[in-house]
C-alpha cells in the first residue's frame, strides 16, 4: 500500500472518506500524531491494534470535534467535569467517563468507561468535523516506540501500512494529553500531561493523582507497559559526571555516545555529542520525542541526564523521560 502524506487541509476530505470506509488514517494533534479509525466499527478499531502491535487490554481514546455532542457517548457526568470541559476543551485533556456503550467494545477493552478527547489543533478539528464520527486513536507509533511529533515520524513507523498521513506540521505540545478519570467524586489524573494538576484543581476544587501500587491492576492500562523507547541502548544518569564516565566507556568500545540533557548542563559536557532538551518545561515537552528519535538514529548509547526543573508540565515530562530511559 502506498502511504500518502498530504497537508492536513488538502487531505481532510480523503481522510474522512477513508475513515468512513473503515480504513486507518494518521492525523496531527497539538500533542502527538494519532492513528485514527471509526470508533463505531469493530473491524476498523481492531486494525489499529494490529498495526501498532498494541496489547489488546490497552484501551483507546475517542477523538471528537468541538461541537460533537459527547453526551451521546457517555452515561452522565459529574458537575466538575462540565466545568473542566468548559475551561480546557478543546485542548490536551482526555476525560474518562462512564461509557454509554455506543462505540466498539474494542475501544475500551471491556472497561465500563470511555476516554474522550477534543483536540485543539486546527488540523485535527478540521479532520474531525469533516469525518463527523468519533475517531478512536492512540499515538501513531509502533507499540513501545517513541510517540511521533512530525508526519515524518509517523511515516518511519507506518510506511506502506496505512493509506494516509495528514500533515499538520510539528506538534506544539509534544507530550500526550493528560488523562483524567471523571467517574469519581473528585477528578483523578491517570496520566500526567500538559494540563496540570494545579490547573485542574483550580477549576474542579480538588484533583488527585493516581499512583499504581506494585501488583495492582492499573486503572489506566497503558501506564503498565514499556513505553517511549528509543531503539538503541540507553542509560539514565543524575549528573554530568556520571554521564561523562559512561560516554568515555562507550567511546572506548568503539561506540557513539550521545547525551540528552537540559540546556543548563551542556557546558559540563565538553567533548561529547549532546542533544539540548531546552530549559523550560514547555520547551522540554515540545522537544523530547523528536530528540529521542534523533538520538536513536545517531547513538549506539543514548545517555539521559534527569532534568532538574520541577512544577507545571515537568511531572508529565519526567514521567516520559524516565520511562524512555528504562526506569519504571
Ligand atoms: O495526546 C494524546 O492523548 C494522544 C493523541 C493522539 O490524542 N493519544 C494517546 O493515546 O496518547 P495512547 O493510546 O497512546 O494513550 C492513551 C492512554 C493509555 O494510557 C490508555 O491506557 C489510557 O489512555 N486510556 C484509554 N482509555 C481509557 C479508559 N477508559 N480508562 C482509563 N485509561 C484509559
Ligand atoms: Mg501511546
Q: What is the DSSP string of 103-170?
A: S-HHHHTT-SEEEEE----HHHHHHHHHH-S-EE--BSS-TTBPPP-SHHHHHHHHTTTSSEEEE--S
Neighbours of 101 (CB within 10 A): 12
205 CA to centre of ligand 1 in angstroms: 24
d(CA 176, CA 178): 7
- Which bound ligand lies closest to the C-alpha atom of 193? 1
pLDDT at 39: 98
Q: Report the candidate in 265, 260, 270, 279 with the shortest Cα–Cα distance to residue 325.
A: 260
The preferred substitution site among 92, 109, 138, 143 for testing ligand 1, maximizing ligand atoms within 8 Å of CB, is 138
Q: Which helix (H) or strand (E) holds 301?
A: strand 301-305
pLDDT at 226: 61
What's the burial of 308, exposed, middle or buried (CB within 10 Å: 0-12/13-18/19+)? exposed
250 CA to centre of ligand 2 in angstroms: 30
Backbone angles phi, psi at 165, to 5 degrees: -120, 125
Q: Which fold has domain 4-209?
A: DHBP synthase (3.90.870)
Q: Report the candidate in 29, 70, 25 with the shortest Cα–Cα distance to residue 44.
A: 25
pLDDT at 212: 76
CB contact at 8 A, 289 and 321: no
pLDDT at 223: 62
Copy the grid coordinates of residue 39: 470508533
- Which bound ligand lies closest to the C-alpha atom of 210? 1
Backbone angles phi, psi at 215, to 5 degrees: 85, -15
Name the residue with the closest Cα to ligand 1, atom 10.
138
Backbone angles phi, psi at 314, to 5 degrees: -65, -25
DSSP per-residue codes, 207-246: -EE--PPTTSPPSSGGGGS--SB-SSEEEEESSHHHHHHH
Low-confidence ranges of the chain (pLDDT < 50): none
Question: pLDDT (tens digit, 9 = 90+) per residue, 58-81?
Answer: 999 999 999 999 999 999 999 999
- The verdict on whether omega for the bond into residue 90 sits within 30 degrees of 0, i.e. cis, is yes
d(CA 37, CA 16): 10
* CATH 3.60.110.10 given to domain 233-324: no
123 CA to centre of ligand 1 in angstroms: 20
61 CA to centre of ligand 1 in angstroms: 5
Residues of the chain with CATH 3.90.870.10: 4-209
pLDDT at 228: 80
pLDDT at 211: 84
Residues of the chain with CATH 3.40.50.11030: 233-324
Q: What is the DSSP letter of 306?
A: P
Cα angle: 283, vertex 170, 172; to 5 degrees = 40
**Length, in residues, of the chain:** 328
Amino acid at each position: 500500500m502506498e502511504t500518502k502524506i498530504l497537508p492536513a487541509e488538502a487531505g481532510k476530505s480523503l481522510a474522512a472518506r477513508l475513515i468512513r470506509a473503515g480504513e486507518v488514517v494518521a492525523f496531527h494533534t497539538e500533542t502527538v500524531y494519532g492513528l485514527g479509525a471509526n470508533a463505531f466499527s469493530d473491524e476498523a478499531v481492531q486494525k489499529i491494534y494490529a498495526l501498532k502491535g498494541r496489547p489488546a487490554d490497552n484501551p483507546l481514546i475517542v477523538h471528537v470535534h468541538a461541537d460533537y455532542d459527547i453526551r451521546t457517548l457517555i452515561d452522565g457526568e459529574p458537575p466538575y467535569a462540565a466545568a473542566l470541559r468548559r475551561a480546557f476543551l478543546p485542548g490536551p485533556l482526555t476525560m474518562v467517563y462512564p461509557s454509554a456503550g455506543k462505540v466498539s467494545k474494542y475501544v475500551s477493552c471491556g472497561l465500563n468507561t470511555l476516554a474522550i478527547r477534543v483536540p485543539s489543533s486546527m488540523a485535527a478539528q478540521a479532520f474531525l468535523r469533516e469525518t463527523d464520527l468519533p475517531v478512536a486513536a492512540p499515538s501513531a507509533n509502533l507499540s513501545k516506540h517513541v510517540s511521533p511529533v512530525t508526519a515524518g515520524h509517523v511515516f518511519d513507523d507506518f510506511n506502506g501500512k496505512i493509506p494516509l498521513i495528514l500533515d499538520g506540521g510539528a506538534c506544539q505540545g509534544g507530550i500526550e494529553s493528560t488523562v483524567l478519570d471523571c467517574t469519581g467524586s473528585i477528578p483523578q489524573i491517570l496520566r500526567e500531561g500538559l494540563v496540570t494538576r494545579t490547573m485542574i484543581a483550580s477549576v474542579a476544587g480538588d484533583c488527585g493523582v493516581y499512583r499504581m501500587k506494585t501488583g495492582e491492576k492499573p486503572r489506566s492500562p497503558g501506564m503498565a507497559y514499556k513505553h517511549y523507547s528509543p531503539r538503541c541502548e540507553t542509560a539514565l544518569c543524575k549528573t554530568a559526571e556520571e554521564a561523562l564516565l559512561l560516554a568515555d566507556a562507550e567511546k572506548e568500545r568503539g561506540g557513539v555516545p550521545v547525551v540528552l540533557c537540559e540546556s543548563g548542563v551542556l557546558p559540563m559536557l565538553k567533548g561529547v555529542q549532546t542533544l539540548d532538551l531546552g530549559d523550560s518545561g514547555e520547551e522540554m515537552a515540545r522537544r523530547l520525542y523528536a530528540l529521542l528519535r534523533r538520538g536513536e538514529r545517531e547513538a549506539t548509547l543514548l545517555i539521559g541526564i534527569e532534568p532538574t526543573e520541577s512544577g507545571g508540565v515537568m511531572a508529565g515530562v519526567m514521567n516520559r523521560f524516565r520511562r524512555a530511559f528504562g526506569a519504571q
